[in-house]
Structure 1
Amino acid sequence: MRVFPAIDLINQQCVRLKQGDYNVQTIYGNPVEMANEWVKEGASFLHIVDLDAIKGDYSKNFGVIKQMIEEVSIPVQVGGGVRNIERINELLDIGVDRVILGTVAVKDPDFVKDVVERFGGEKIIVSVDARNGYVATDGWIEISNLKAIEFAYKLQKAGIQSIVYTDIAKDGMLQGPNLEALFQMNNLTELEVIASGGVTSIEDIRELSKANIYGAIVGKALYEGKISLLEIMKEPSIC
């Protein structure tokens, strides 16, 4: 299983939110320094979310993202406010390995098909963000009538290969992931499922690995010292 240290960006700073609430954020400093630290501790992939871009400010963190990619020697996947072909091209051009789609994938299924045809299913990931089993959009503010598993089936049919599955109620709470929902998503689809939200301990990582979950994003638990990336990377099933 692959572990993705998370770097969320607001105003060129590394931050963590609680359940996606911009009003409840903790700042952890320089994101470029954090990226280098996670690489030093053994990370093989980084997960970056531009929280300012979600609100429409695409330029604020772009230079920082570019600098991180230039300084680290591992692949980077980036999401946050990706709504058009131009933005995807912009990110791929600076060396982003995989681009993550969010709300646009829910509201414009034809766009998903288009970008898969243009860039390939391996270059485009979709973030499936759910509350009580239903897909959330617009920075987790709106809850749709679309069930997460139904959305996943549509993405698979469109040619998407990987998804990031986030249980919003677990995000930033340090209470463990929603294993039941993740196992269902993994068992009922052919998608590579990346677990996000609530991963707090080595035991969480082991449970996900046992269930053949493709990957796990670890955020607040790393920054708060609840879990060590050095220890995670010693696990025989982790890469």
Structure 2
Amino acid sequence: MRIFPAVDILGGRCVQLVQGKRESATAYGDPLSCARHWLDAGAEALHVVNLDGAFGESAKNADLIRALVKDTGVEIELGGGIRSVEDGSRWLGTGVTRIILSTLAIQNPDSIRQLATEFGSDRVMAGVDAKGGKVAIHGWQETAGDYIGWAKTFEKLGAGSLLYTNVDVEGLQQGVAIEPVRQLISHVRVPVVVAGGVSGRADVAALRDAGAYGAVLGSALYSGKINLSEALEESQ
């Protein structure tokens, strides 16, 4: 199973939020320095989120993210504020491994098919952000239907992988809710990366045993609640 340290970018800084709320941001310094730190510690992939994009400024941090992609040369999945097929095409042009379509995938499902046709399914990941079992959109402020139903739709449209985020536990550092993960993985055939609540070795082991392709480490990693080397060891 792959371990993806999160590098979430807001205002040019690497931050972590609680429950996706901008006002909860804790800053951890320069994003590129944070990325290098995790790679030096053994990570081989990164989960990058352009939070300014998610909050409506899609072009912000573009130069910084391009530099991060070029400097690291590792597997990078990128999300945050991709609001159109054109946005997706531009970000894929930076060399990221794959982009994550969330609100766009709900509002314009055909965007998945268009981008997958042009760039290949493996470069298009659909975001399944779930809140109470429903897909959450617009900064997790609205819900739009059953998360498994949407996941199956995304797969049919050509998404090569899924990012499942359990909004109910995201950022709380209180552990993963494993049953919704198992349910999702059992209903799709594409790889599933899981975010939200990964706070200890037991969470990593549970996701590995459930068949997840990867796990995103965010708040608990930055706070020191989970150690990257332990997570990497448990992921084997």
Confirm or deny a common fold (TM above 0.5).
Answer: yes
CA–CA distance in structure 2, aligned partners of residues 68 and 160 of structure 1: 25
What amino acid is aligned across from residue 73 of structure 1 in structure 2? G
The alignment partner of 1:216 has SS state of: strand
Q: If the length of structure 1 is used for normalisation, what is the TM-score?
A: 0.95
Equivalent positions of 1:81-96 (< 5 A) are: 81-96=81-96
CA–CA distance in structure 1, aligned partners of residues 89 and 113 of structure 2: 16
1:36 maps onto 2:36 in alignment:
yes
Aligned length: 236
Structure 1 segments of 4 or more deviating over 6 A?
Answer: none
What amino acid is aligned across from residue 180 of structure 2 in structure 1? A
1:43-73 Cα deviation digits (max 9, x unpaired): 1110001010122212321111112112213
The alignment partner of 1:112 has SS state of: helix
Unaligned runs of 5+ in 2: none
1:183-214 Cα deviation digits (max 9, x unpaired): 00001211211110000001110111112111
Shift of residue 160, structure 1, vs aligned partner: 1.3
1:70 maps onto 2:70 in alignment:
yes
CA–CA distance in structure 1, aligned partners of residues 227 and 160 of structure 2: 29
CA–CA distance in structure 1, aligned partners of residues 134 and 222 of structure 2: 29
Partner of 1:170: 169
What amino acid is aligned across from residue 7 of structure 1 in structure 2? V
Unaligned runs of 5+ in 1: none
Shift of residue 165, structure 1, vs aligned partner: 0.5
Equivalent positions of 1:35-54 (< 5 A) are: 35-54=35-54
CA–CA distance in structure 2, aligned partners of residues 122 and 35 of structure 1: 23
CA–CA distance in structure 2, aligned partners of residues 22 and 164 of structure 1: 21
What amino acid is aligned across from residue 99 of structure 1 in structure 2? I
CA–CA distance in structure 2, aligned partners of residues 162 and 62 of structure 1: 24
Partner of 2:202: 203
Shift of residue 233, structure 1, vs aligned partner: 2.1
Percent of residue pairs bearing the same amino acid type:
37
CA–CA distance in structure 2, aligned partners of residues 231 and 178 of structure 1: 20
Equivalent positions of 1:1-239 (< 5 A) are: 1-144=1-144, 146-235=145-234, 237-238=235-236
Shift of residue 95, structure 1, vs aligned partner: 1.4
Residues 152 and 42 of structure 1: is their aligned pair in 2 closer, same or farther, counting only changes over 3 Å?
A: same
CA–CA distance in structure 2, aligned partners of residues 21 and 95 of structure 1: 29
1:57-108 Cα deviation digits (max 9, x unpaired): 1232111111211221312111111122322222222211101101010111
CA–CA distance in structure 1, aligned partners of residues 92 and 159 of structure 2: 17
Shift of residue 231, structure 1, vs aligned partner: 2.1
1:117-149 Cα deviation digits (max 9, x unpaired): 1111100001110110001111111112x1000
CA–CA distance in structure 2, aligned partners of residues 188 and 60 of structure 1: 36
CA–CA distance in structure 1, aligned partners of residues 179 and 232 of structure 2: 25
